[in-house]
A and B are shown apart, each in its own frame.
Chain A
Amino acid sequence: MTDSPRDDDVPRHAGGDLVIPVLAFGFTLYYFSTIWDSPWTAQVNAVLVGSILFVCLAALAVRIARDRISGRIDFGFAELIAPVGLLGKRAAFAALTLAYLLGLEYAGFTLSTFGFLGASFLLLRGVRRWHIDLGLAAAMALIGYAVFILAFETRFPRGPFEMLMRAVLQ
């Protein structure tokens, strides 16, 4: 197999590869700090697993360092955030998801699901066919309400819509 000149010249952006190992390392250290004064029964499993994890992380660090020295990788994050053109949309989608979770507590399942679905459809598809997208969001939210709250009587977060419907249906 022959590498293209581009493959030889451009190092892979491997900064993203470090995120999981750093999280794993940090969490394991934190975990150890919580079992420091605990009885052996609370320590044995984590010490065993954590020790093997540290060995693997050390081996991974050596491999990454070797690749960095030889110029095969750099610590850029381009591969993690690619495609860059979609970064704003993806961040907005994540923000909408977080807003959905926050809204559930106050607006209840049906209204917040409608709001989240409607806003997400408009974000991802554009506003050209907004009436179809909002209609679909309303239909999905109402189907969810009928199936989960009316039929299955699950304890999904209740809000103004659910209160109103309860009053109407009683």
Chain B
Amino acid sequence: MTADAAFFADLLVHTLSMWWVIVPSIFLGLIVGAIPGFSAANTIIILLPLTLAMDVEVGLIFMVSLYCSSRMGAGIPAILVNIPGTAGAAATPLDGYPMVRQGRGQQALAISFVSSTLGGLITTVVALLAMPLLAQVGYFMHSVEMVVVMLFGISLIASIAAKDTLKGLVAGLFGLMIGSIGADHVYATPRGTMGFLELYDGVPLIPALVGLFAVSEAFLVIEGESILSRHGLERVKSARWAETFEGVGITFRRLWHVIWTSLIGLVIGVIPGAGAAIASFVAYQQSRTFSKTPELYGTGHPEGLIAPESANNGVTSGTLIPLLVIGIPGGATAAIMLVVLQYQNVNVGPRLFIEHPELGYGVFMAMLVTYLLMAFTILPLSRYMSRVTLVSTAYMSPIIIAFTLIGAYVPRDYLFDMYLAFAFGLLGYIARKTGYHVAAILIGVILGPLMEQYMLRALKMSDGDIMVLFSSNIGNTLWVLLIAAIALPYVLQRRRDRRADSVFAEGEG
């Protein structure tokens, strides 16, 4: 069987005929993605007996649909109530939540859905076309290069801290120190664990996410009757379908933005172990760097919402490429898919596309169809979902606390993790009240351990010679790009200021 146009047309029609699997999976994925602690990977594990009993093709379509939709679902609470469903959506509330407070929740959801859908569609098509090439990316990205990729993400702290750099840096570095808790990667020496065995594996991400965002937000919003401003409240009450169409229009007018930020997600997704959190932070940072209006980021700027949502959906297709082409899973969900495929006696790797092209290419076709169906099923719901923001905070806060704290329990089944989430909640509350950005702390907690892991690996290979970080051509190119990315906003700002001064001087003259 050859993979020609007729083959892909047949595959598309066949995948569309599987809508009865895809549509329920979409809704299940949206729900589990929206609840912190319930990732696609957890749900697939819970439903593994069911998945293994399915026909291999149906099982794969079910897992792929669930995976894609859970990624989109994680953005919904991030936008509406400032609570990211997963770490991959941690950059989404930076601009999504301010839009909600202004009463633009419906528009923000539409932007998120459309940019997620477009990001997913674009990267799926690119993945289908460039699969052999993209599969090689993992081979070139070693620990040295990954250190620089991590620094790209960490440099977002400086952007977030634009209002008060010193406070932002303190928050980010404190986060990095918290992220260093746990046994060290070489000799397993416990560090900073305060005697808690539960912290030997490091600080678990979901309790940190739940505490810093959800618990602190719940304690903060009880200060008012509603999370919306007075103007925002009026706007939500009088919102019409036009708000959704406006959000769609805003995203399509920034199509180029969607394309390049989703491609960042695709490339980062291909690297095993990198993941959606890094992709969305890097995409947000790069989006801000090259924006004509960087000062609007963090105030409810559509581009600040498009970038992380496109990128984290770009990761989805990226993580499946190494699994299918070279047999290495790029993330937790891909690893579970590998288990299912092996159980069904399907060998992944290059032979998959020769022996079972309908499965190899079928995975990406399922992704394509899922995103298409998702656009039609979820977009109309944005109007109704945004009305969640009208719920009184006296109801919203306790519900947020009850269901997100229990979400912190799910990944490891430790009651300790719920107390940890509560402690992070208190830390987040103090940070918010005193102007230290919780997102900066979270970036440190997420990226700190990864950064340490890659740096140690590089240093171990070179017997502790720090110059190893500048020993590869790709790494050095990335260093130059990193320095350029950090310096560029200041250079562009200076140029804008100078231009504004000259226009002002001409006006005066």
Given contacts A38-B187, A40-B464, A49-B448, contact A101 B177 (CB under 8 A): no
**Using an 8 Å CB-CB cutoff, how does the interface string of A143-165 with B read, 1 for contact, 0 for none?**
01000100011111100000000
- Cβ of A27 < 8 Å from any Cβ of B? yes
B residues within 8 A CB of A152?
A: 38, 43, 46
Q: Residue of B at shortest CB range from A137?
A: B398
A46 touches B222 (CB 8 A): no
B186 touches A20 (CB 8 A): no
Give Cα A94–Cα B422 distance, bound, in whole angstroms.
9
B residues within 8 A CB of A40?
A: 464
Nearest CB of B to A2, in Å: 21
Nearest CB of A to B465, in Å: 12
B residues within 8 A CB of A49?
A: 173, 176-177, 180, 448
A113 touches B409 (CB 8 A): no
Q: Which of B356-401 contact A (CB under 8 A)?
A: 392-395, 397-399, 401
A residues within 8 A CB of B198?
A: none
- Cβ of A127 < 8 Å from any Cβ of B? no
Q: Which of A77-97 contact B (CB under 8 A)?
A: 79-80, 83, 86, 89-90, 93-94, 97
Say which one of B51-59, B238-246, B428-436 lies at the interface with A: B428-436
Nearest CB of B to A65, in Å: 13
Q: Residue of B at shortest CB range from A20?
A: B436
Number of residue pairs spanning A and B whose beta carbons lie under 8 angstroms apart: 174
Nearest CB of B to A71, in Å: 20
Nearest CB of A to B53, in Å: 16
Q: Interface size bucket, A side?
A: 35 or more
Nearest CB of B to A64, in Å: 10
A34 touches B170 (CB 8 A): no
**Using an 8 Å CB-CB cutoff, how does the interface string of A16-40 with B read, 1 for contact, 0 for none?**
1101110110011011001100111
> Which of A20, A41, A59 lies in contact with B456, CB distance below 8 A?
A41
A/B interface sample: 27 pairs, CB < 8 A: A19-B430, A20-B171, A20-B431, A21-B170, A24-B177, A27-B174, A27-B178, A39-B186, A42-B184, A45-B451, A49-B448, A60-B170, A86-B223, A89-B222, A90-B219, A93-B397, A100-B401, A104-B406, A104-B415, A120-B398, A120-B401, A140-B399, A144-B402, A152-B46, A154-B46, A154-B410, A156-B406
Q: Which residues of B contact A (CB under 8 A)?
A: 38, 43, 46, 166-167, 169-171, 173-174, 176-178, 180-181, 184-187, 189-194, 215, 219, 222-223, 392-395, 397-399, 401-403, 405-406, 409-410, 413, 415, 418-419, 422, 426-427, 430-431, 433-436, 448, 451-452, 455-456, 459-460, 464
Q: Which residues of A contact B (CB under 8 A)?
A: 16-17, 19-21, 23-24, 27-28, 30-31, 34-35, 38-42, 44-46, 49-50, 52-53, 56-57, 59-60, 63, 79-80, 83, 86, 89-90, 93-94, 97-98, 100-101, 104-105, 109, 113, 116-117, 120-121, 124-125, 136, 140, 144, 148, 152-157
